[in-house]
Amino acid sequence: MTSLVLTLIGADRPGLVEALAGAVAAHGGNWLESRMAHLAGQFAGILRVEVEDANAGALTAALEALEGRGLRVQVQPAGAEPAPGPYRALRVELEGLDRPGLVREIAQVLAERGVNIEELVTDRLVAPMSGEAIFHSRAWVLVPTSVDPDELRRRLERLAQDLMVQVNLAQSDEIG
């Protein structure tokens, strides 16, 4: 079996997921996992499919042909799953006044400690009373067990004071 990672983008319209799923199914592929969203009039996503080795080339060609229907698809062989390491899964939530550079500063704190961001979801909302732009993010991260979660929390909270954001750090099994 061959595992493929697909990235896609196109002007949002009905039928894009159906066209994609149809190409995968027509080649005996199995849709394993995906993340897709509508962003600023575009449909964007990433997904992983599995297909018999003999059908991988034909599936790749069929997916690339979807560009004629307005959906640009890039196909990459999936990398090997990393060996489980000594990590602790945590959720990091941030909320505060939006401003340029906010994601970079938070990501920098995490990267300096060897924290791997597994998934990141961000939104920009309007505060109901003030009308100000509020940045909200949720990240699921893998923190090396050598990193003290309390120290990481303190560092994020110090940064949060500078950025005027609230930080919540929780074990992933506390995700609700």
Give the span between the Cα atoms of 62 and 57, in whole angstroms: 9
Give the span between the Cα atoms of 13 and 66, in whole angstroms: 14
Q: In this predicted structure, what is the pLDDT of residue 22? A: 96
Instruction: Give domain status of residue 118, yes or no.
Output: yes
Q: Please indicate, yes or no, whether residues 14 and 59 belong to a single structural domain of this protein.
A: yes
DSSP 18-59: HHHHHHHHHTT-EEEEEEEEEETTEEEEEEEEEE-GGGHHHH
Give the span between the Cα atoms of 63 and 78, in whole angstroms: 16
Which of these three, 26, 57, 77, is where a domain ends? 77
Q: In this predicted structure, what is the pLDDT of residue 167? A: 66
- Name the residue with tokens 């509508």: 38
Q: In this predicted structure, what is the pLDDT of residue 160? A: 67
pLDDT 10s per residue in the chain (176 long)? 999 999 999 999 999 999 999 999 999 999 999 999 999 999 999 999 999 999 999 999 999 999 999 999 999 999 877 666 788 888 888 887 888 888 898 899 999 999 999 999 999 988 888 888 888 888 999 999 899 888 888 888 777 665 655 567 777 544 33
What SS3 string covers 115-146? CEEEEEEEEEEECCCCCCEEEEEEEEEEEECC
Q: Please indicate, yes or no, whether residues 18 and 66 belong to a single structural domain of this protein.
A: yes
Instruction: Give domain status of residue 82, yes or no.
Output: no
Q: Please indicate, yes or no, whether residues 93 and 166 belong to a single structural domain of this protein.
A: yes
* Residues 10 and 74: beta-carbon distance below 8 Å: no
Residue 49 lies in domain: 2-77
- Give me the CATH number covering residue 41: 3.30.70.260
> Which residues are 96's β-sheet partners?
135, 165
Q: In this predicted structure, what is the pLDDT of residue 162? A: 59
Kindly give, in sequence order, each residue whose CB lies less than 8 Å from that of residue 43, ignoring residues fewer than 6 positions away: 8, 9, 10, 11, 12, 13, 16, 36, 37, 71
Instruction: Give domain status of residue 49, yes or no.
Output: yes
Q: Please indicate, yes or no, whether residues 71 and 91 belong to a single structural domain of this protein.
A: no
Q: Please indicate, yes or no, whether residues 68 and 112 belong to a single structural domain of this protein.
A: no
Which of these three, 29, 44, 77, is where a domain ends? 77
Ramachandran region, residue 3 (left: φ > 0; alpha: ψ -120 to 50; beta: rest)? beta
Question: Against a cut of 0.75, is the pTM above it?
Answer: yes
Q: In this predicted structure, what is the pLDDT of residue 97? A: 80
Enter the tokens of residue 44. Answer: 């964007």
Instruction: Give domain status of residue 12, yes or no.
Output: yes
Q: Please indicate, yes or no, whether residues 156 and 101 belong to a single structural domain of this protein.
A: yes
Enter the tokens of residue 33. Answer: 């996992």
Q: Please indicate, yes or no, whether residues 71 and 112 belong to a single structural domain of this protein.
A: no
Q: Please indicate, yes or no, whether residues 31 and 103 belong to a single structural domain of this protein.
A: no
